[in-house]
Amino acid sequence: MNDNEDIPGLPARAAALDLLGTALSRRAGLDEGLNHPAMAALAPRDRAFARALVMATLRHLGPIDAALQAKIRKPPPERIVNVLRLGAAQLLVLKTPPHAAVGATVDLAAAQKGGQAFKGLVNAVLRGFTREPVALDDPALFAPQWLAARWAAAFGADEARAVAALIAAEPATDLTLQDPADAAELAPELEAEVLPAGSLRVGLKGEVSAWPGFDAGRWWVQDASAAVPARLLNIQRGETAVDLCAAPGGKTLQLAAAGGKVVAVDRSAGRIKRVSENLARTGLGAEVIVADAAEWRDSRTFDGVLLDAPCSATGTFRRHPDVLWVASPADIPKLAQVQAKLLDSAARRVKPGGRLVYCVCSLEPEEGEGQVAAFLARTPGFALDPIAPGEGGAPEASLREDGTLRILPHHRVGGTDGFYVARLRRT
Ligand SMILES: C[S@@+](CC[C@H](N)C(=O)[O-])C[C@H]1O[C@@H](n2cnc3c(N)ncnc32)[C@H](O)[C@@H]1O
């Protein structure tokens, strides 16, 4: 413990340092780190602190790094840079009392291999921030430069700025109800706002599994925009549907709740367990299959096919701020190739007259607009089935002229996940 009883001690800070290192080292590192046994082994208060500190650091990483670069001539090893990032986030974002934040961060540096040599640097840099606090509120620094430039090229400078402005914001929690008629009863209990098409934006805080209706499976956590694509498939009771990249299963649950006979496919045996767990909790039914959707040998065709393809996930930065810092320009063409293969496989599984919804939680046009344009150019027998204004609860600002959706995070008050969604029909 350090000298301030309100401030978690070295184990919490060491866990935060490991978590930050994992989050910045690889795709999905943040989730991997959060689910690591080392996190589960912490006392609940320390775990909550480590998580909050790392999220605050990642949400402000651009401005924090700019502030550190202004103070450091020769960058120390990466682990010490991460110690400094955590220290800066405590001082400048979480507003931890300076004496505690500086002292504890110097101790954390000292506890690293070779870290004794950097105690002076850490102390000097952080003391500098206590003397002249740095504002971390310049949205021009929020996103990596290459992504900000891409967004400006794709959506225009004003829209790109509005997107980036949300990077530092904490997201609300949205729920999808199994039975939309439950909104009248559950919204007040959950202190929730009812959004268009029935998603709830919850005001309650704390452990989700303790909220009213969780145990009974009456709802699941799903961003309001993530709930749009499955609604657009318009599955009617008794129709068949396949969700080709299904885990953890939010969209599968929607299709099953709509009364569809649903097949849920995902390549990851680990992740698909979450689909089965979610089905069990909600009492909904679906056939769950572990397979690569591009290679899946199954001759069935379906009324509705949903492809929520693997992507750069840049639209999910509010809950996964790590995506901004681990993505690289080279990832995007590679992912686009995978998506094209999956889209061709999805198309083969659509009944004549059936619907195909393609979506990605990416803000990058190559994974969205470009992907669908290329698919239509190479695939006879498919046409866009234009989405109507407001259909499925999509924000009006997101509807494009061709009837596809480009949902940007600022299209909903309070923010939302970014998505591209297209509905196609087999003619
Ligand atoms: C964007 S997530 C899907 C989220 C999910 N639809 C939901 O709403 O909960 C993408 C999923 O695609 C899966 N995936 C990636 N490549 C795949 C492939 N070739 N075949 C099947 N699933 C794949 C991943 O395991 C991951 O679970």
- Per residue in 220-251, pLDDT (tens digit) is 999 999 999 999 999 999 999 999 999 999 99
* pLDDT at residue 54 tops 70: yes
| Ligand 1 midpoint to CA 75 (Å) | 38
The residue type of 276 is: S
* Radius of gyration, CA atoms only, the chain: 23
Average pLDDT of the chain, as a whole number? 96
pLDDT of residue 6: 58
Contact 307, 294 (CB under 8 A): no
Give 3-state DSSP helix, strand, coil % of the chain, rounded to 5.
50, 15, 35
pTM of structure: 0.95
- What is the spatial distance between Cα 151 and Cα 4, in angstroms, rounded to a whole number? 44
pLDDT attached to residue 8 = 81
Which segments of 318-380 does DSSP mark as H helices, in order?
A: 322-326, 331-348, 369-378
Alpha carbon distance, N-terminus to C-terminus of the chain: 67
Phi, psi of 291 (to 5 degrees): -165, 155
How far from chain centre, in Å, is Cα 90?
A: 24
Residue 32 pLDDT > 80: yes
pLDDT value of residue 3: 42
How far is it, in rounded angstroms, from Cα 229 to Cα 199? 13
Q: Of all helices (H) and strands (E), which one includes residue 272?
A: helix 269-282
Neighbours of 196 (CB within 10 A): 15
CA angle 313, 316, 319 (to 5 degrees): 135
Do residues 305 and 296 make contact, with C-beta atoms less than 8 angstroms apart? no
Report residue 325 as tokens.
């810092």
The reported pLDDT for the residue numbered 2 is 41
- Cα–Cα distance measured from residue 77 to residue 142, given in angstroms and rounded to the nearest whole number: 23
Rounded to an integer, the average pLDDT of 214-225 is: 98
Kindly indicate the confidence band of residue 65, based on its pLDDT and cuts at 50, 70 and 90.
very high
- Measured in Å, residue 323 CA sits from the centre of ligand 1 at 16
**How many angstroms separate the CA atoms of 305 and 246, rounded?**
11
User: How many angstroms is it from 310 CA to the middle of ligand 1?
Assistant: 5
At residue 318 the predicted structure's pLDDT band, cuts being 50, 70 and 90, is: very high
Each residue's pLDDT tens digit, 166-191: 999 999 999 999 999 999 999 999 99
CA distance 262 to 420: 23
What CA–CA distance (Å, rounded) separates 37 from 47? Answer: 11
User: Is 361 annotated as catalytic?
Assistant: yes
Interatomic CA distance for residues 145 and 66, integer angstroms: 12
Per-residue pLDDT reduced to its tens digit, 267-313? 999 999 999 999 999 999 999 999 999 999 999 999 999 999 999 99
Q: What angle do CA 258, 340, 152 make, to 5 degrees?
A: 90
| Burial class of 410 by CB neighbour count within 10 A (0 to 12, 13 to 18, 19+) | buried
Mutual orientation of helices 145-155 and 157-165 as an angle, nearest 10°? 130
> pLDDT band for position 399 (50/70/90)?
very high
Average pLDDT over residues 253-264: 98
Residue 308 alpha carbon, nearest atom of ligand 1: 6
Per-residue confidence (pLDDT) for residue 9, from 0 to 100: 86
Contact 246, 265 (CB under 8 A): yes
Closest residue by Cα to atom 12, ligand 1, is 245
Å from CA of 143 to ligand 1 middle: 25
Residue nearest atom 25 in ligand 1 by C-alpha distance? 268
| Closest CA to ligand 1's atom 27 | 247
Helices 331-348 and 369-378 sit at what angle, rounded to 10 degrees?
50
Q: Is 310 a pocket residue for ligand 1 (Cβ < 6 Å)?
A: yes
308 lines ligand 1 (CB under 6 A): yes
At 339-358, the pLDDT tens digits run 999 999 999 999 999 999 99
Measured CA to CA, the distance from residue 340 to residue 323 in angstroms comes to 22
- Domains of the chain are 10-137 (1.10.940.10), 141-168 (no CATH), 173-426 (3.40.50.150)
Percentage of the chain surpassing pLDDT 70? 98
Q: How far is CA 290 from the centre of its chain?
A: 23
